């Protein structure tokens, strides 16, 4: 349905553009201005490509140029076959690109589905009770690590103090031995 709506909108836009081309031609005739593809396209607010590519617009411009005595009809007629071939080639390329894009999208969707299935499988292995138990054990272990770290720090401080005391006592003993030793 959206494709039909888009095509209908495109048809209406094209018809409106062709009408503007006819109006521009009429204005140029009234003003007795030079009739050319560029002048008509500019006045109609369309591109020259549109004038060359649309058969109705091309015919109206060719008629207007012929009526104005210009020799540009040959350019329009010769350009027609090349333009048709160019548009046909573009349409075929676009169709091939669209098919490739659809194939890639389908492959990506399949891969996403497989990965989501793997995630669901991994989540299914853990029950809510198991997750709760592991979370509780993790919290307990973290508390135990904090306690052991604090105990280790306390023991390190005690060891350092004991070594300081030992050095002090060794020095004190050496001093006392020096005092007791006979002079000489």
Instruction: Report the pLDDT value the prediction gives residue 105, as an integer from 0 to 100.
Output: 93
Read off the pLDDT of each residue in 130-136 and give the average, rounded to a whole number. 88
Taken as a whole, the chain contains a residue count of: 184
Q: What is the tally of structural domains in the chain?
A: 2
Instruction: Report the pLDDT value the prediction gives residue 19, as an integer from 0 to 100.
Output: 94
Q: What is the pLDDT of residues 157-181, one digit of tens each?
A: 998 998 998 899 989 998 888 888 8
Q: Write the DSSP string, 80-116.
A: HHHHHHHHHHHHHHHHHHHHHHHHHHHHHHHHHHHHH
Tell me: do 7 and 91 sit in the same domain.
yes
Tell me: do 14 and 60 sit in the same domain.
yes
More confident residue, 23 or 93: 23
Question: What is the pLDDT confidence band of residue 183, given thresholds at 50, 70 and 90?
Answer: confident
Instruction: Report the pLDDT value the prediction gives residue 136, as an integer from 0 to 100.
Output: 95
Question: What is the pLDDT confidence band of residue 79, given thresholds at 50, 70 and 90?
Answer: low
Instruction: Report the pLDDT value the prediction gives residue 71, as an integer from 0 to 100.
Output: 44
Tell me: do 134 and 54 sit in the same domain.
no
Residue 19: how many CA atoms within 13 Å on its side-chain side? 6
Domain enclosing residue 66, as ranges: 2-95
Tell me: do 132 and 88 sit in the same domain.
no
pLDDT more than 90, % of the chain: 29
Tell me: do 9 and 89 sit in the same domain.
yes
Asked whether residue 118 is domain-assigned, the answer is: no
Tell me: do 90 and 19 sit in the same domain.
yes
Report how many helices (DSSP H) and strands (DSSP E) the chain contains, helices first. 6, 0
Tell me: do 17 and 67 sit in the same domain.
yes
Q: Which residue has the tokens 């040959």?
A: 74
Q: What is the pLDDT of residues 46-62, one digit of tens each?
A: 988 888 889 998 898 88
Read off the pLDDT of each residue in 69-95 and give the average, rounded to a whole number. 66
The CA-to-CA distance between both ends of the chain, in Å, stands at: 121
Q: Positive or negative CA dihedral for 15, 17, 22, 23?
A: positive
Asked whether residue 119 is domain-assigned, the answer is: no
Question: What is the pLDDT confidence band of residue 72, given thresholds at 50, 70 and 90?
Answer: very low
At 153, list the tokens.
Answer: 């720090």
More confident residue, 112 or 3: 112
């Amino acid at each position: 349905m959206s494709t039909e709506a888009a095509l209908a909108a495109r048809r209406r836009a094209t018809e409106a553009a062709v009408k503007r081309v006819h109006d521009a031609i009429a204005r140029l005739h009234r003003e007795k201005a030079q009739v050319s593809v560029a002048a008509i396209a500019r006045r109609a607010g369309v591109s020259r490509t549109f004038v060359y590519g649309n058969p109705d617009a091309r015919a109206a411009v060719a008629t207007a140029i012929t009526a104005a005595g210009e020799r540009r009809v040959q350019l329009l007629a010769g350009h027609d076959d090349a333009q048709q071939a160019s548009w046909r080639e573009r349409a075929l390329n676009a169709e091939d690109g669209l098919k490739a894009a659809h194939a890639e999208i389908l492959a990506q969707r399949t891969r996403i589905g497989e990965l989501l299935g793997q995630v669901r499988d991994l989540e299914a292995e853990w029950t809510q009770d198991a997750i709760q138990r592991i979370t509780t054990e993790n919290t307990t272990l973290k508390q135990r690590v904090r306690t052991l770290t604090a105990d280790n720090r306390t023991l390190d401080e005690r060891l350092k103090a004991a070594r300081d005391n030992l050095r002090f006592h060794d020095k004190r003993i050496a001093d006392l031995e020096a005092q007791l030793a006979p002079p000489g």
